[in-house]
Amino acid sequence: MKKLWSLSALILLAACSPNNQAQQAPAAESTPAPAVEQAAPAVPSNEITVNYACTGEGKKVGVTAVYTAQGDDLVSVKLSADGTEYPVLPRNANNKDDNEFADDKYTWTADVATAQNVVTQAGNMLTEKGGTSVVNGETLPTDNIIFKYCEVSVGLPQ
């Protein structure tokens, strides 16, 4: 009987050894990888170039506007005229009366347009903040007009 207990104890110890436990442990249940949330497909953007004939300081000025469109919405514009490149101006979507693109220094306004018809719509003007005017003896902040009366053009050199 003593041999049986000794043999039983030896088997029990062998069964409890770390090596044996690792071998006998059931395989850990594999947890599925977390679901990856797919982003909505981005609306492709494209650039639309429009050449304008504007008036600046009393003379005709060729102005190039490169609009960025997402779908049918115009979201920004980059202007250049007479060798000067202006920064990219984001669209002010709150302005429903015309297309207004502005940063803290410049504002470009143009007729209401979409990506479908912007090549046929007139521009209005580019202004720069920081000017002043004297009205009735009082100095008031105003915007300086860089160029205005912008019409779609095909003939002016850029």
DSSP line for 48-79: EEEEEEEEETTEEEEEEEEEEEETTEEEEEEE
How do strand 84-85 and strand 73-81 relate by DSSP bridges?
antiparallel
pLDDT tier for residue 29 given thresholds of 50, 70 and 90: low
Q: What share of the chain is helix, strand, coil (3-state, %, to 5)?
A: 15, 45, 35
Report domain extents, the chain.
45-152
The residue-averaged pLDDT of 75-102 equals 94
Residue ranges of the alpha helices (H) in the chain? Answer: 2-16, 18-24
- Pick the more confident residue, 5 or 153: 153
Q: What is the pLDDT of residue 1?
A: 45
pLDDT tier for residue 2 given thresholds of 50, 70 and 90: very low
Based on the number of CB atoms within 10 Å of its own CB, is 126 exposed (0-12), middle (13-18) or buried (19 or more)? buried
Q: What is the pLDDT of residue 96?
A: 86
Least confident of 22-31, 79-88, 103-112: 22-31
